[in-house]
Amino acid sequence: MGLPSLGYEDLYAPIVERADLQYTPRRHDPHPRRVRALGAEYVEGTAQGVRIAVGRFPAEHRQRPGAYSTMVYGVHPYQLLNYNGAWDDVSTLAHESGHSMHSYLSSANQPYATAGYSIFVAEVASDR
């Protein structure tokens, strides 16, 4: 950058001038090799969850900002997000999938009374 010294704010300068990458849904769907270190149940659960329980495309009735993962005990999790093919959308889907798998595994392995968890625990589990 040619600066005499580096300030904290300079750490956020873009590395490249512009990168306009687009990700198709098929390209970003979880692939077993990306999450296989987390075990076979996690691999299958993530893949199945994205196939059946993610509402990810913008639609007239679904123009809310943000992304959400929710679950009712004993039912697979659902995700809602607006996916436009940008890197942020891919990252958001991965983050919400972390929440969904946390909920799924919690529900599958604990009784109703103890399957819930705090927001702090939820965010730790989702940052995979």
Task: Show which residues are catalytic.
Answer: 96
The residues near 123 (Cβ < 8 Å, ≥ 6 apart) are none
* Sign of the Cα pseudo-torsion (86, 87, 92, 94, in order): positive
* Sign of the Cα pseudo-torsion (98, 24, 57, 45, in order): negative
User: Contacts from 47-52 at CB under 8 Å and sequence distance 24+?
Assistant: 48/76, 49/76, 49/77, 49/79, 49/97, 49/100, 49/101, 49/104, 50/93, 50/97, 52/76
